[in-house]
Amino acid sequence: MRKVAVIMGSDSDLPVVTPCIETLRALDIPFCVRVLSAHRTPDAARAFACAAREEGFGALIAAAGKAAHLAGALAAHTTLPVIGIPVRSSALDGLDALLSTVQMPPGMPVATMAIDGGKNAALLAAQILSLSEPALSERLESLRAEMTAQVLAKDAKIQAQFES
């Protein structure tokens, strides 16, 4: 199976990235985790993106806050799917990172998650990889069924609580 790269702009982004890592682990997807910055280590970020396809990656996940150019900067150097996680890390509550990540020019897509949306980033990467991995598709179906069962159980509990 192709690997997923989880890249964060700073180690201070780790709390947002943790649910992403946990979800990849739960789905048994091989991954690596890196700190690379579009602004502080631009050469290393570029080199990573340029080599990623050849190194066996199938999707890149990039989490960054403030003027969050990491996902876009990686996308500029690869045609692999890039998934951006805007991180809430500044006075603007993550809106700065959201807009910096989502507003890519035509020809250069970044699939942008919700602010701090680490879990969905992992699930979207899994859905992309599942196109050529039937076993992963099955794991995704089970996860979805589990989630549905949990919500239905909560519905039943709430209905019972407010029964008149």
Q: Which is nearer to ligand RP5, 3 or 13 (CB)?
A: 13
In the complex, least distance from residue 78 CB atom to ligand RP5, rounded to whole angstroms = 19
**Backbone φ, ψ for residue 67 (5° rounding):** -80, 80
Kindly list the residues in this chain that would bind ligand RP5 in the complex (CB under 6 A). 9-10, 12-13, 37, 64-66, 87, 89
Q: How many other CB atoms sit within 10 Å of the CB of residue 146? A: 10
Whether 43 contacts 51, CB under 8 Å: no
In the complex, least distance from residue 43 CB atom to ligand RP5, rounded to whole angstroms = 16
Tokens representing 10?
Answer: 């700073």
In the complex, least distance from residue 91 CB atom to ligand RP5, rounded to whole angstroms = 12
List Cβ neighbours of 134 (8 Å cut-off, separation of 6 or more).
Answer: none
Q: Which is nearer to ligand RP5, 4 or 97 (CB)?
A: 97
Q: Which is nearer to ligand RP5, 12 or 142 (CB)?
A: 12
For the four alpha carbons of 156, 147, 97 and 16, in that order, the dihedral sign comes to positive
Q: Which is nearer to ligand RP5, 9 or 72 (CB)?
A: 9
* CA 37, chain centre distance (Å): 16
Tokens representing 128?
Answer: 């992309």
In the complex, least distance from residue 160 CB atom to ligand RP5, rounded to whole angstroms = 43
